[in-house]
Amino acid sequence: MYRCQLCNVVQPPRTRRVNVTIESRPTEYPSRPKANRLRVGRKWKQFDDPGGAGFEIAKEAAACPTCAKAHEEKRLADEAAGIYNDLPASEESATL
């Protein structure tokens, strides 16, 4: 049993809980030299992590399957209408 954070209704037992992303934000990760160690043969070699840009979850909610489906449909409709700007921060600055 859990309470859906979107409709605020207590769900019956054995109802599947769905994590829904409410808000995300663009982020950039710096490169990290010698961050990863891998074994090559008998020796350990260190490799660089190139970093990069992407999105991370800012807010997440526990939802019932009905609310999760409705939220996903609304998000897809908003995305098709062009409400969301899904460019990472590095691409966004390059296009300006």
DSSP β-bridge partners for residue 35: none
Least confident of 31-35, 42-46, 82-86: 82-86
Tell whether the model's pLDDT for residue 96 goes beyond 60: no
The percentage of the chain sitting over the pLDDT mark of 90, rounded to a whole number, equals 56
Report the mean per-residue pLDDT for the chain.
86
**Domain boundaries, given as residue ranges, for the chain:** 2-95
Tens-place pLDDT, residues 75-88: 889 888 877 655 55
pTM of the full predicted structure? 0.64
Tell me how far apart the alpha carbons of residues 49 and 34 are, in angstroms, rounded to a whole number: 7
**What pLDDT score does 95 carry?**
53
Tokens of 61: 């909610």
